[in-house]
Chains A and B, each alone.
Chain A
Amino acid sequence: MVEIKKKEQLIICLLDRLDASNAEEASSIVIEAVKDLASDVLIDVSELKYISSAGLRIVLNIAKDVKAAGKETLLQGAKGEVKEIFRISGFLTFLKEI
Chain B
Amino acid sequence: MTFRVDNIQKKIVLFIVLITVPMFLISLFLIQNYVSSELLKSEHRQATLINIETLKSIENFLNETSSFTQEAAFMIKANPNNYEIVLPLLKRSIQNDSSLFGSALALNPNSYLNKMYCKYFYRGVDSINAKWLMPPAYNYSESDWFARPKVQKEPIWSEPYFDKGGGEVFMSTYSCPILDVNSEFLGVVTADVELNTLSERIQNLNAAKGGSIFVVSKSGFFLSHPDKKFNLKQDIFTYAKAINSETLNKVGDDIKDGKSGVYTVEMPDGTYSLYTMYVSRTSWSIGILLKNSVLFGSLRKLKLYLLLIVFVDIILILIMVVLVSNQLKKSVAKEEKVKHELELACKIQQHFLPKINKLNNDNFSLSGIMTPAKEVGGDFYGYRQVDNKLIFYVGDVSGKGVPASLFMMAAQMLMEDAMEDSTNPAFILNRVNKKILRISTTGMFATMIIGVIDFKTNKMTYAIAGHPPFVIKSGEGIFSPLPVYALPLAAFEYIEYENYEMQLEKGASIIAFSDGVSEAENKRLELYDTERIALVLKACSNEYDASEIKDKLLQDVRNYTNGHEQNDDLTIVVVRI
Is the beta-carbon distance between B399 and A53 smaller than 8 angstroms?
yes
- Stretch of A6-14, A37-45, A71-79, A89-97 lying at the B interface: A89-97
Q: How far is the CA of A39 from the CA of B482 in the complex (A)?
A: 34
Assess whether A21 is interfacial by the CB under 8 Å rule. Answer: yes
Least distance between B438 CB and chain A CB atoms (Å): 15
Looking at the assembled complex, report how far the CB atom of B376 sits from the nearest CB atom of chain A, in whole angstroms. 13
Cβ proximity bits B373-402 to A, threshold 8 Å, 1 near / 0 not = 100001000000000000000001111110
A57 touches B487 (CB 8 A): no
Residues of the A chain whose Cβ atoms lie less than 8 Å from the Cβ of B515: 52-53, 85
Closest 3 CB pairs of A and B: A90-B487, A53-B398, A57-B398
- Across the interface, which residues of A come within 8 angstroms of B447, CB to CB? 53, 89
Say whether B488 contacts A88, CB under 8 Å. no
Q: Are A20's CB and B400's CB within 8 A?
A: yes
Given B443, B567, B568, which contacts A60 in the complex, CB threshold below 8 Å? Answer: B443
Contact A19 B485 (CB under 8 A): no
A61 to B488, CA, bound (A): 13
Tell me the smallest distance from the CB of B440 to a CB of chain A, in Å.
Answer: 11
> Which of chain A's residues have a CB closer than 8 A to the CB of B397?
53
| Complex contact B465–A57 (CB within 8 A) | no
Q: Tell me what chain B mostly uses at the interface: helix, strand, loop, or mixed.
A: loop
Cross-interface CB contact of A93 among B445, B486, B525, cutoff 8 Å: B486
B31 within 8 A of A: no
Q: Which one of B163-171, B466-474, B534-542 is at the interface?
A: B466-474
Complex Cα–Cα for A90 and B468 (A): 10
- A52-B568, A53-B447, A60-B491 given; A91·B466 CB < 8 A: yes
Contacts of B519 in A (CB 8 A): 50, 52, 85
Known: A90-B485, A93-B486. A57 touches B469 (CB 8 A): no
Q: Are B525 and A50 in touch, CB under 8 angstroms?
A: yes
> Do the beta carbons of A56 and B465 come within 8 Å of each other?
no
One digit per residue, 1 when the CB lies within 8 angstroms of any chain A CB and 0 when it does not, for chain B 397-409 equals: 1111100000000
> Residue B62 at the A interface, CB < 8 A?
no
Q: Is the CB of A54 within 8 A of B398?
A: yes
Whether the pair B485, A88 counts as a contact (CB closer than 8 A) is yes
List residues of chain B with CB under 8 Å of any chain A CB. 373, 378, 396-401, 443-445, 447, 465-469, 482, 485-488, 491-492, 515, 519, 525, 527, 567-568
How close is B533's CB to chain A, nearest CB, in angstroms? 14
Q: Are A54 and B399 in contact (CB under 8 A)?
A: yes
Mark A residues whose CB is within 8 Å of B.
Answer: 17, 19-21, 23, 49-50, 52-54, 56-57, 60-61, 64, 81, 85, 87-94
CB nearest neighbor in B for A58: B443
Instruction: State how many angstroms separate the Cβ of A93 from the closest Cβ of chain B.
Output: 6
Please measure, in the bound complex, the distance between the C-alpha atom of A70 and the C-alpha atom of B527, giving whole angstroms.
Answer: 37
Instruction: Tell me which residues across on chain A come within 8 A of B373, comparing CB atoms.
Output: 20
Contact A93 B444 (CB under 8 A): no
Q: Which of A53, A54, A61, A92 contacts B485 (CB 8 A)?
A: A92
Contact of A81 among B443, B444, B527 (CB under 8 A): B527
Task: Let me know if A88 and B482 touch, CB within 8 A.
Answer: yes
Whether A90 contacts B399 by the Cβ 8 Å rule is no
Given A53-B399, A54-B400, A57-B398, also A20-B568 (CB < 8 A)? yes
Known contacts being A52-B519, A53-B396, A93-B485, is A88 close to B445, with CB within 8 Å? no
A89 and B487 contacting across the interface, CB-CB below 8 Å: yes
Whether the pair B401, A20 counts as a contact (CB closer than 8 A) is yes
Q: List 13 A-B contacts (CB under 8 A).
A: A19-B568, A20-B373, A20-B401, A23-B399, A50-B519, A50-B525, A52-B567, A53-B398, A54-B399, A88-B482, A88-B485, A89-B487, A94-B492
Known: A53-B396, A53-B445. 12 other contacts (CB 8 A): A20-B568, A50-B519, A53-B399, A53-B447, A53-B568, A54-B399, A57-B443, A64-B492, A85-B519, A88-B466, A90-B488, A94-B491
- Are A88's CB and B527's CB within 8 A? no
Inter-subunit contact B398/A56 (CB<8 Å): yes
Residues on B with C-beta less than 8 A from A87 are 485
Distance (whole angstroms) from the CB of A33 to the closest CB of chain B: 15
Nearest chain B CB to A94 CB, angstrom units:
7
CA distance A92 to B468 in the complex (A): 14
Contacts of B445 in A (CB 8 A): 53, 56-57, 60
Among the listed A50, A52, A54, A90, which residue makes an inter-chain contact with B465, where contact means beta carbons less than 8 Å apart? Answer: A90
One of B399, B469, B487 near A20 (C-beta < 8 A): B399
Q: B446's closest neighbor in chain A, by CB?
A: A53
Q: Which residues in A have their C-beta under 8 angstroms from that of B399?
A: 20, 23, 53-54, 57
